[in-house]
Amino acid sequence: MSVPSTLPDELAGDIELRISTEPVPYRQALEEMTLRNAAIAAGEARELIWLLEHPPVYTAGTSAALDELLDPRFEVVEAGRGGRYTYHGPGQRVGYVLLDLKKRARDARGFVHGLEGWVIETLRDFGVEGFRAEGRIGIWTRDIDGSEAKVGAIGVRIRKWVTMHGFAVNVNPDLAHFTGIVPCGIEEFGVTSLSRLGKDVDFAAWDAALVARAPAFLASLESPCPPTTSPEEDA
């Protein structure tokens, strides 16, 4: 699918920006992402930021525990990324970020910190205060009852200093679909969405805001950032 005319098809530094307008099956996206990761590492392909949506699926990271798969009502796919179980589905915006960190600061934790910051700043554009939580991977906010809830997931893998996977933000998904797993292994906190928080946001608006903040995200990778989480590395 082509990028809508309101957005560019590349970002500074010859990074391809791809926006899929139809849901992409997870296995298909994973295969393409894996091949692109290797091609970037070999110097045979451009870097890529890919925004897309998946049909309902549960994905298992390398630390996923079987007892956290409560009701496998959807396909379960081994993702190869760090982390535990995550849900992807309609109404959730997924961003796959394939960048060569050899061109930037070789800092895996800084990369994750930068991803988190990119999502947090974009959420702020829609009046949602996102934040990091010590010891809890992901992007958090205050739910409608005042409790802390996850609004975005982060999961990455780095192979030969080229990143893959990325983030998923709950714009308007069916939150009941998350009850089939313990999201990211954290039982005591729930999940929320922009829609649940009263924000009427579509993918076009989200993508435009995210892309507008991409230069700041990319600039943040030029120097080491404070450590926040521990992504799976295969550098």
- What integer pLDDT is reported at residue 3 of this predicted model? 41
Partners of 16 in beta bridges: 10, 48
> Do the annotations mark residue 203 as ligand-binding?
no
Residue 1 lies in a domain: no
Q: Please tell me the total count of domains within the chain.
A: 1
* pLDDT beyond 90 at 235: no
Mean of the pLDDT values across residues 89-103?
Answer: 97
Distance of CA 197 to the CA centre of its chain: 20
Mean of the pLDDT values across residues 41-63?
Answer: 95
> Do the annotations mark residue 82 as ligand-binding?
yes
Residue 128 lies in a domain: yes
User: Residue 84 sits in which domain range?
Assistant: 10-234
> Do the annotations mark residue 88 as ligand-binding?
yes
> Do the annotations mark residue 167 as ligand-binding?
yes
CA of 81: how far to CAs of 47, 103, 165, 166, 221, in Å? 18, 22, 7, 9, 20
Q: How many residues does the chain have?
A: 235
Residue 228 lies in a domain: yes
Partners of 98 in beta bridges: 48
d(CA 90, CA 23): 8
d(CA 152, CA 40): 27
Residues 6+ apart with CB under 8 A from 172: 91, 193, 194, 195, 201
In this prediction the pTM is: 0.89
Strands 48-52 and 15-19: parallel
Active site (annotated) includes residue 225:
no
Convert the pLDDT of each residue in 79-90 to its tens digit: 888 778 889 999
Distance of CA 156 to the CA centre of its chain: 8
Question: What three-state secondary structure class fits 123?
Answer: helix
Query: Tell me, what CATH number does 112's domain have?
Result: 3.30.930.10
* pLDDT beyond 50 at 230: no
pLDDT tier at 112, thresholds 50, 70, 90? very high
* pLDDT beyond 70 at 228: no
Q: Which of 3-12, 52-61, 225-234 has the weakest average pLDDT?
A: 225-234
The residue from 184, 191, 194, 201 that is catalytic is 184
- What integer pLDDT is reported at residue 226 of this predicted model? 52
> Do the annotations mark residue 58 as ligand-binding?
no
- What integer pLDDT is reported at residue 161 of this predicted model? 97
Candidates 153, 2, 172; CA nearest to 79 is 153
Residue 5 lies in a domain: no
Distance of CA 186 to the CA centre of its chain: 17
> Do the annotations mark residue 166 as ligand-binding?
yes
Going by the DSSP 8-state scheme, the letter that residue 227 receives in this structure is: -
CA of 95: how far to CAs of 17, 88, 123, 144, in Å? 10, 11, 14, 25
Mean of the pLDDT values across residues 66-75?
Answer: 88
Residue 147 token pair: 């409790």
> Do the annotations mark residue 155 as ligand-binding?
yes
Share of the chain above pLDDT 70, in %: 91
* pLDDT beyond 90 at 20: yes
Residue 212 lies in a domain: yes
Residue 219 lies in a domain: yes
d(CA 48, CA 84): 24
Mean of the per-residue pLDDT values of the chain = 90
* 152 neighbors 92 (Cβ within 8 angstroms): no
Residue 2 lies in a domain: no
Residue 3 lies in a domain: no
* Residue 166 identity (one-letter amino acid): G
d(CA 78, CA 122): 29
Q: At what angle do helices 108-125 and 203-212 cross, to 10 degrees?
A: 130
> Do the annotations mark residue 168 as ligand-binding?
yes
